[in-house]
Chains A and B, each alone.
Chain A
Amino acid sequence: MDETALRKLLEGALTSEPPIGPVGDKVLRAGVRLRRRRRATLAAISALAAATVTAVALAAAASGRPAAIAPVRPTTVVPHQFSPFVAYAAFGWLPAGYKLLEGGTTRGSTYQVAGRPSLSPRPWYLLAYPAGGCQLTKARGLMCKAYYPFGPLALTSRAPDISGHRAYWATAYAHLPSEPVLAWQYAPGSWAVLELGKTKPLDTHWRQVAVKAASHVRFGVHAAPPVAFPLRLTGLPASWHLISGVRAWMPYWNGVTYQPYGQVLYASHWSVSTGSASTGPRARPFLTFTIGLAGQPGSCRVGAQGPPVHEVVNGYRVIVTRGPFGQTLCAANAGGLCVQIEERSNRPGADLARVDVVGLFAHHLQLLGTSPAHWATQPIR
């Protein structure tokens, strides 16, 4: 049997072919059904994949381990300076027993402190810097210009990526007891640092906890509620302004410190410059305001400016001290607020505002009470 014979045989096998009915519509309907089924299958697979990823992430989070698949947040545009009225970075998750204790904002950095109320072990410090605020150095360091003036962080090893961004284990302050730090780039050119409050190297568990906490940090102007001011200064010269420098803490804190109060943050410590000088660290002379709330211990720290004098101003009992190095006024309970105004100088008579703190309290201080609904978003009007 050759190939020609085989062709004939195959042709002959088709002799019993039944008639063909209408084909076009039938095939078209079958094609439409198939296409619909494939699209539904694809959608189901996509939904299943998304649900699986979410379930894995949730399961890992629930088990206390860092999420194996951390959600990659969309890259945000980070400003080159922060607003002093916004907490640009905020903890989103903390270990059991830890809570937010305090935070602070300047134009050059923002921080949050979290720990146990007993402050033992030492609390965590979360710091975030605006775009361009930190640079990697050639000597495996991370230099943040608004950081403590103790030199760069020493990067020791790579850490697991945080939300898809590179991260490093590091130690802070070469000349101090080594404190473990997790530093990561939360957006291109923008870094965050989590100081872990320990003086010994972290074990595996605490490394996982740190990575989980870092991966849950929120960034942006909506990371936390805006900072609110329970009092407001009114009727002052236009040169008075809130101090918010770039450099934090040293030689003095020149930003807004806030504390949590329910679901809001209130400005608990901030400074006002009386001059038209820059808002940087040399923006002196200035007055510092420290605010406490009702329900919290309301006591006055009497400064060493001079002998304490008890007075009643606008119906509130206040303690006033005056001396060559400055002046203080403290009202332990002024409409539910504990208010302290302080001015200090390192040299007698120099760099002082020449402002009477009692007159300021009596005529220019508007107390807004303890209800956050009445608090102000700007401390000077």
Chain B
Amino acid sequence: MASAEEFVEFAEVMFPRLRRTAFLLCGDWHTAEDLAQTALAKMFVAWREIRRQDGVHAYANRTLVNTYLAHRRLKRTGEVLTGWFPDRPAAAAAPETRMVVLDALATLPPRARAVVVLRYWADLSVEQVADVLDCSAGNVKSLSARALHRLRAVLDEALAEPGPPSRPPLAQHHPGSGRDG
């Protein structure tokens, strides 16, 4: 079963990166692990076809983002966005900055958030992001511009002020309000 062994090898290499991408998308390590695992399981089902293609990594990103978007749709009715993270042990370095960034990302609609993560963390080009999200490059650019504008507004304000981070307004990321591109 060479293809299974090959897939396991691919999953071992790919999983950490996929989990980090998923974390930036969803803001929760447990959910991120589930998303990454689900994306890889989906890839396993079609592995015989995927392994012959050149863009296996792009396929993985696309599967992960689609899994995340589907997860968001499924969770939307039952999810309550509080804007606050539950209590957890303090991270070693710059916990405030990390939480501010995650809070800021949480203000973005899912697809805009995916654009930011894929463009500025996964270092995909506009065309590659458009391919992952199955939309036009222009759509990616507009989503990116709007997302950056919002992130700047939130992050500049939060990082400029000392003390507790500001809380994003709930109304802007209430379930159902994030219809974009």
- Residues on A close to B: CB < 8 A? 1, 3, 6-7, 9-18, 20, 23-28, 30-35, 38
Residue of B nearest to A28 (CB): B8
Residue of B nearest to A24 (CB): B8
Q: Does A13 lie within 8 Å of B152, measured CB to CB?
A: no
Measured between beta carbons, the chain A residues less than 8 angstroms from B47 are: 31
Measured between beta carbons, the chain A residues less than 8 angstroms from B70 are: none
Q: Does B40 lie within 8 Å of A11, measured CB to CB?
A: no
Give Cα A141 to B78, complex, Å.
Answer: 68
Q: Does B41 have its Cβ within 8 Å of any Cβ on chain A?
A: yes
Measured between beta carbons, the chain B residues less than 8 angstroms from A6 are: 116, 120, 148, 151
8 Å CB contact of A16 from B16, B44, B98:
B98
Chain A binder among B17-25, B124-132, B133-141, B170-178: B17-25
Chain B, range 33-61, C-beta contacts under 8 Å to A: 37-38, 40-45, 47
Interface string of B66-102 (1 = CB under 8 A from A): 0000000000000000000000100111100110011
Task: Tell me the minimal C-beta distance from A338 to chain B in angstroms.
Answer: 73
Q: Does B24 lie within 8 Å of A14, measured CB to CB?
A: yes
Q: Does B44 lie within 8 Å of A35, measured CB to CB?
A: yes
Measured between beta carbons, the chain A residues less than 8 angstroms from B24 are: 10, 13-14
Q: Does B156 have its Cβ within 8 Å of any Cβ on chain A?
A: yes
Q: Does A7 lie within 8 Å of B121, measured CB to CB?
A: yes
Give Cα A7 to B94, complex, Å.
Answer: 15
Q: Does A10 lie within 8 Å of B120, measured CB to CB?
A: yes
Task: Tell me the minimal C-beta distance from A100 to chain B in angstroms.
Answer: 55
Measured between beta carbons, the chain B residues less than 8 angstroms from A30 are: 37-38, 40-41, 44
Measured between beta carbons, the chain B residues less than 8 angstroms from A27 are: 8, 11, 15, 37, 40-41, 44
Measured between beta carbons, the chain B residues less than 8 angstroms from A24 are: 8-9, 11-12
4 smallest A-B Cβ distances: which pairs? A31-B44, A24-B8, A30-B41, A31-B41
Q: Does B11 lie within 8 Å of A11, measured CB to CB?
A: no
Q: Does A15 lie within 8 Å of B92, measured CB to CB?
A: yes
Measured between beta carbons, the chain A residues less than 8 angstroms from B98 are: 12-13, 15-16
Measured between beta carbons, the chain A residues less than 8 angstroms from B94 are: 12, 15
Q: Does B91 lie within 8 Å of A10, measured CB to CB?
A: no
14 sample A-B contacts, Cβ–Cβ < 8 Å, listed by A number: A1-B151, A9-B97, A10-B24, A12-B94, A12-B97, A17-B29, A24-B12, A27-B11, A27-B41, A30-B40, A31-B7, A31-B40, A34-B41, A38-B45
Q: Does B19 lie within 8 Å of A20, measured CB to CB?
A: yes
Q: Does A28 lie within 8 Å of B120, measured CB to CB?
A: no
Residue of B nearest to A16 (CB): B91
Measured between beta carbons, the chain B residues less than 8 angstroms from A26 are: 37
8 Å CB contact of B8 from A10, A25, A35:
A25
Q: Does B101 lie within 8 Å of A34, measured CB to CB?
A: no
Give Cα A10 to B120, complex, Å.
Answer: 8
Give Cα A28 to B6, complex, Å.
Answer: 11
Task: Tell me the minimal C-beta distance from A166 to chain B in angstroms.
Answer: 41
Give Cα A30 to B88, complex, Å.
Answer: 29
Give Cα A17 to B18, complex, Å.
Answer: 12
8 Å CB contact of A14 from B8, B20, B148:
B20
Q: Does B44 lie within 8 Å of A32, measured CB to CB?
A: yes
Measured between beta carbons, the chain B residues less than 8 angstroms from A12 are: 93-94, 97-98, 101
Measured between beta carbons, the chain A residues less than 8 angstroms from B105 are: 13
Task: Tell me the minimal C-beta distance from B148 to chain A in angstroms.
Answer: 7
Q: Does B156 lie within 8 Å of A1, measured CB to CB?
A: yes
Measured between beta carbons, the chain A residues less than 8 angstroms from B148 are: 3, 6
Task: Tell me the minimal C-beta distance from A128 to chain B in angstroms.
Answer: 49
